[in-house]
Amino acid sequence: AQSVTQPDIHITVSEGASLELRCNYSYGATPYLFWYVQSPGQGLQLLLKYFSGDTLVQGIKGFEAEFKRSQSSFNLRKPSVHWSDAAEYFCAVVRGGGNKLTFGTGTQLKVEL
Amino acid sequence: DVKVTQSSRYLVKRTGEKVFLECVQDMDHENMFWYRQDPGLGLRLIYFSYDVKMKEKGDIPEGYSVSREKKERFSLILESASTNQTSMYLCASSLDRRTGSTFGSGTRLTVV
């Protein structure tokens, strides 16, 4: 069965520092991969997605992610973090031939000023 | 922009009550989903629907049912609420597997 692992439950970075959030998936074929962000008390907002083509994808709010098939990873990056980026981040993969998403357990990002 | 609207942000219900959570989307999406979100567990799929009157169980359907009488509306029903159903409930809709899902703001349900 498809699964998604986010190994870091909490991450703290200083404002202005670079950020990388890890995501590993298990899936036989080329997966459909997504990163979402959730601000406190809110729903999830789509940051970026990958399903084919260039393995480096750009998203909203200055985020990017790189698909690495050999490592089964889809890590999220940002060169310089802003205090407003403090939120919870979820990686997700579409299962099988349908539209259902499997989510990781999330990474809580704290930004120190 | 697609909008997914959940009727209540906060809800407090008593054990044994029948609870309805409503979700409406305005972009003619075929697919709609109900998730529950609990700390440390991420989002877990309760039910989804790929067409009017069509539904499929997700990973944790026990204690829940759904209704989709119109394309834009997808309701989650707790037949007899229990305290272990206290959670954040998120509704989502999607066009297809490549576009990703659009989420509502969530309903935080407390069962006392």
pLDDT tens-digit series, residues A13-36: 999 999 999 999 987 677 899 999
Q: Which of A32, A43, A106 is the closest to B42 by Cβ? A: A106
Average pLDDT, chain A: 92
Q: What's the total number of domains in chain B? A: 1
CA of A41, closest CA in chain B: separation in Å? Answer: 8
pLDDT at A40: 87
Q: Residues of B with CB below 8 A from A42's CB? A: 105-106
Provide the pLDDT for residue B100. 87
List the single residue in B4, B40, B96 with the smallest CB-CB distance to A99. B96
Q: Which of A6, A99, A107 to mutate to test the interface with B (most CBs of B within 10 A)?
A: A99
Q: CB of A47 within 8 A of CB of B110?
A: no
Hey, which bits of A8-70 come out as E strands?
Answer: 10-14, 19-21, 24-26, 33-38, 44-50, 56-58, 64-68
Nearest CA in chain A to B38: A105
Residues of B in contact with A10 (CB under 8 A): none
- The whole-number pLDDT of residue A100 equals 86
The predicted pLDDT at position B31 comes to: 93
Residues of A in contact with B48 (CB under 8 A): 99-100
pLDDT category, A52, cuts 50, 70, 90?
confident
Q: What is the pLDDT of residue A56?
A: 95
Q: Do A43 and B104 touch (CB under 8 A)?
A: yes
Pairing mode, if any, of strands A33-38 and A10-14? unpaired
Q: Which domains does chain A have, with CATH numbers?
A: 3-112 (2.60.40.10)
Apex A67 CA angle, A62 and A72, nearest 5: 135
Q: Does A42 touch chain B (CB under 8 A)?
A: yes
pLDDT at A96: 67
| Residue stretches of chain B with pLDDT short of 70 | 1-2
CA distance linking residue B10 with residue B22, whole number of Å: 12
Interchain CB distance below 8 Å, A101 and B101: yes
Range of the domain at B64: 4-111
Residue contact A106–B101, C-beta within 8 A = no
Judged against a pLDDT cut of 70, whether residue A1 lies above it is answered with no
Q: What is the pLDDT of residues A60-77, one digit of tens each?
A: 999 999 999 999 999 999
Which tops the pLDDT comparison, A59 or A94?
Answer: A59
Q: What is the CATH number of the domain that holds B94?
A: 2.60.40.10
pLDDT at residue A97, rounded to an integer: 65
Cβ of B103 within 8 Å of Cβ of A51? The answer is no
Cβ distance of B106 and A43 shorter than 8 Å: yes
pLDDT at residue B58, as a whole number: 93
Partners of A76 in beta bridges: A21, A65
Report CB contact under 8 Å: B100, A34.
yes
pLDDT in tens, A104-113: 999 999 999 9
CB B91 within 8 A of CB B4: yes
